[in-house]
Amino acid sequence: MKALDRKLLRDLLRLWAQVAAIALVMAAGVMTLVLAVGAQRSLFETREAYYERNAFADIFATATRAPNRLGDEIAALPGVASVETRITQNAILDIEGMAEPASGMLVSVPDDGEQVLNRLYLRLGRLPAPGHPDEVVVNEPFANAHGFVPGDTFGAVINGRKRDLTIVGVALSPEFIYVVTDLMPDDRRLGLVWMSQTALSAAFDLDGAFNAISVKLLRGQSPDVVIDEIDRLLEPYGGRGAHDREDQQSHAFLDSELNQLQAMSYVLPPIFLLVAGFLVNMILSRLIALEREQIGLMKAVGYTGAAVAWHYLKLVIVIALLGVLVGASAGTLLGRGLTRLYGDFFHFPFLIFRAGVDIYLIAIVVSVSAAMLGALRSVRAAAALPPAVAMRPPAPARYRQLLPDGVPLLSLLPQTTVMIGRNIVRRPLRALFTSFGMSLSVAMLVGTLFALDSVDEMIDVTFFGAERQHATLSFVHKLPAEALYEAERLPGVLAAEPARMVAARFRNGHLERRLAITGKPGDSTLSRLLDVEGHEVTMPDEGVVLTTALAGILDVGRGDTVEVELMEEHRETVLLPVSAVVESYIGLGAYMDMDALNRLMREAPSISAVHVIADASRIDELYDAVKNLPLVGSITLQRAAVEKFRETMAENLIMMVTIYVGLAGIIAFGVVYNGARIQLSEQGRELASLRVLGFTRGEVSWILLGEFALLTLLALPMGWLLGYLMAYSTAEGLATELFRLPLVIQRSTYGWASVVVLVASALSALIVRRRIDRLDLIEVLKTRE
């Protein structure tokens, strides 16, 4: 080993604590990068492979009743590779030992068991046999939640008839990786039930017909043209508009998860690398200042400026590589862990881990670059230092009066405080960056933990402000308005309110969205409309009310006109004025006065769902009654879902908070520890002199740590502001048509973020304090700096 490399090694060992602190900050950056990209890619690849192997369709469409020959016509469309016609319906399931009714989604499989598209991944048993109409396959999560195995039975109300179904198989499906019942997935409450085509067509009087179709496109075929053609073909048969994968619930939700991981890989690593670069800059400029004479000597004996520069660059490269090593290992491990968690959550039948070599190369390149950029200035200075100048002591530091002479304020301050002020003023950039580095730590906490406040707000607004019903009973098809009275008479129902849903397509120029118009009575009190401020909006008698998200997508506002194509029975296109815009964080919504909607449909008052408030003490009676109501297709239990959602949130909360507190702590600790160590190296002699003069350990520590206390305090408001901006862009970035996060940051979130950073700073200060306590008082008297 060359002598210089040996020096390098010893420098690294001597500076181990600071090297470790910087490498840790780098490691955190690399870890988040590898973790997020690794998990994102693995999940993406897993999903793609799953789709490919099980022939997940590209286009989905539903109709009321379409003759089977239409399937052949659609199959013959240019660009279409294959189609599968199906029957899908909702049903209420009655499961032994479960008080509340479960919701079932019935999906047909071809009688011959040869699924062309959306093929089931059978985990247990077999597909239903022809001629056995009560044989079903259920999805694995549902089976697991109830301990079902082939041979078990459960009850279902299918098109008004109570039937006992026998499980013959347990399966997974690429089409239903993520399914929502009430608010989030609930394996217990939602069952996917695959039955033979013959059985379902008999049950729903759909002989020779289908009500759903899946289409696989030829490779490279754009879906838009085919969607238009399918819509045209299905229109006479109650077609509700075809859509591609983007609008398929399971696919869209997975996309949003993948986007979140991607966002994480864009936002977090740069923060750590920025801080690490700054720390490298601080430590290296101090090291070079201390080794000034050695640099002079090296040059005097003939080392070139470039050799000196390379020597110091090697030091920071080693630090960066240490960070990459730790970060990449942790990231790979945690990435696999996270992928497994997601895998379990989504019930993927298999997992493909794929981080990719490139991400490790990227990690190395960006980490080393960040370190080298941080080192650039001081290394350049070292390379340029003429040996004769280097051998002389550096020019003394220049200090300036904080205020002009004679200003009395200064004379009131103790000199120890004046020292703090002058140190900050002497190196304003360093002070600024130290403060900025810590503020990033605060910002990271505010910018991530705000999500908890926002979700709380979302729940409050959605379920305690707008949708205040405890449950919603949706009918298999629309019913006369009188059905409401029957619902009111159900046991345990305290209040009931009707709703009418009509499938529609909204258009403004080339902008369009497919969604149901929800008709509500003008005086509704359960399901209410709220404006952006959370105030109740009275349903206007005329016109349509849009949610802000939908209004944004269609680029319309109050007073504008929007084209609405009604997609049930009397299909026609009408122009409706936008009479109000309301806030909603979940999905897209369009609302009308129920009477106005009925008039528009030119039909007798009818309803498609009833919202109810239930007496909690009689809820089981209500559940029992619902299980035997022939016309209820599904039941949504909002209130129960909110409770469950909060529980799940609370579980995830601990992990999420731990991770982000740890990461933010690493930044705050790294910045304060390194800063204080360097300051101690610069001021150690001064502080020891003061100890000799009779200053106590506490007083001397204050001079050094007081500066960091001040910079930490300055960092807090800066961090709150940056955190707000981060939260803002996160909320914007994560907004999808499925859900949006309202930007809400509680004071307590700012408070906790500040506490974490204060504690991390205090801890690192305490460690440095121990070094101040051990200052050598005698050595200092003997040496000139």
Q: Tell me which residues touch another protein (CB under 8 A).
A: 396-399, 401, 405, 414-416, 418-419, 422-423, 426, 685-686, 689-697, 699, 777-778, 780-784
Q: E strands of 550-647, at which residues?
A: 561-566, 572-582, 590-593, 606-614, 632-636
CB of residue 10 vs another protein: minimum separation in angstroms? 18
Q: Judge whether 463 and 638 are in contact, CB under 8 Å.
A: yes
CB of residue 687 vs another protein: minimum separation in angstroms? 9
Q: Which two tokens stand for residue 243?
A: 């859509």
Of 183 and 419, nearer to another protein (C-beta) is: 419
CB of residue 707 vs another protein: minimum separation in angstroms? 11
CB of residue 692 vs another protein: minimum separation in angstroms? 5
Of 414 and 557, nearer to another protein (C-beta) is: 414
CB of residue 410 vs another protein: minimum separation in angstroms? 9
CB of residue 744 vs another protein: minimum separation in angstroms? 45
Q: Which two tokens stand for residue 187?
A: 């394996």
Phi-psi region of 302 (alpha: psi -120 to 50; beta: other; left: phi over 0): left
With 0-12 / 13-18 / 19 or more C-beta atoms within 10 angstroms meaning exposed / middle / buried, residue 495 is: middle
CB of residue 671 vs another protein: minimum separation in angstroms? 22
- Backbone φ and ψ for 553, nearest 5 degrees, come out as -60, -40
CB of residue 534 vs another protein: minimum separation in angstroms? 54
Alpha-helix residue ranges (DSSP H) falling in 460-528 = 483-488
Q: Report how far residue 629's alpha carbon sits from residue 676's, in angstroms, rounded to the nearest whole number.
A: 72
CB of residue 686 vs another protein: minimum separation in angstroms? 5
Of 405 and 523, nearer to another protein (C-beta) is: 405
- 460, amino acid identity: D
Classify the C-alpha dihedral 275-278-282-284 as positive or negative: positive
- Cα 465 to Cα 79, 458, 595: the distances in Å are 47, 10, 24
546, containing H or E segment: strand 544-547
CB of residue 713 vs another protein: minimum separation in angstroms? 21
Q: What is the dihedral of CA 411, 417, 421, 423, to 10 degrees?
A: 120
Of 152 and 699, nearer to another protein (C-beta) is: 699
Of 449 and 775, nearer to another protein (C-beta) is: 775
Of 76 and 412, nearer to another protein (C-beta) is: 412
Query: C-alpha 197: how far from its chain's center?
Result: 39
Phi-psi region of 783 (alpha: psi -120 to 50; beta: other; left: phi over 0): beta
Of 366 and 775, nearer to another protein (C-beta) is: 775
CB of residue 289 vs another protein: minimum separation in angstroms? 14
**Per-residue burial over 16-25, b = 16 or more CB atoms within 10 Å of its CB, e = otherwise:** eebbbbbbbb
| Cβ neighbours for 111, distance < 8 A, ≥ 6 positions apart | 130, 196, 197, 198
CB of residue 769 vs another protein: minimum separation in angstroms? 14
Q: Report how far residue 157's alpha carbon sits from residue 435's, in angstroms, rounded to the nearest whole number.
A: 65
Q: Judge whether 215 and 58 are in contact, CB under 8 Å.
A: yes
CB of residue 694 vs another protein: minimum separation in angstroms? 3
CB of residue 693 vs another protein: minimum separation in angstroms? 6
| Cβ neighbours for 356, distance < 8 A, ≥ 6 positions apart | 37, 38, 41
Of 345 and 399, nearer to another protein (C-beta) is: 399
Q: Report how far residue 132's alpha carbon sits from residue 150's, in angstroms, rounded to the nearest whole number.
A: 14
Q: Report how far residue 490's alpha carbon sits from residue 234's, in angstroms, rounded to the nearest whole number.
A: 38
Of 415 and 628, nearer to another protein (C-beta) is: 415
CB of residue 711 vs another protein: minimum separation in angstroms? 16
State the Rg of the chain over Cα. Answer: 34
Of 387 and 421, nearer to another protein (C-beta) is: 421
Rounded to a whole number of angstroms, the distance between the first and last alpha carbons of the chain is 31
**Tokens 């989030």 appear where?**
184
Of 399 and 464, nearer to another protein (C-beta) is: 399
Q: Pairing state of beta strands 243-244 and 561-566? A: unpaired
Of 356 and 706, nearer to another protein (C-beta) is: 706
Of 219 and 782, nearer to another protein (C-beta) is: 782
**Tokens 């919701």 appear where?**
103
Of 222 and 401, nearer to another protein (C-beta) is: 401
Total residue length of the chain? 785
Q: Report how far residue 594's alpha carbon sits from residue 612's, in angstroms, rounded to the nearest whole number.
A: 17
Of 597 and 687, nearer to another protein (C-beta) is: 687
CB of residue 262 vs another protein: minimum separation in angstroms? 48
CB of residue 423 vs another protein: minimum separation in angstroms? 6
Of 574 and 692, nearer to another protein (C-beta) is: 692
Q: Report how far residue 683's alpha carbon sits from residue 686's, in angstroms, rounded to the nearest whole number.
A: 5
Q: Of 500, 516, 56, which is closest to residue 240 (Cα–Cα)?
A: 516
Q: Report how far residue 463's alpha carbon sits from residue 526's, in angstroms, rounded to the nearest whole number.
A: 10
Q: Which residues on adjacent β-strands are paired with residue 192?
A: 105
**Tokens 């205020």 appear where?**
403
Of 316 and 700, nearer to another protein (C-beta) is: 700
Phi-psi region of 560 (alpha: psi -120 to 50; beta: other; left: phi over 0): beta
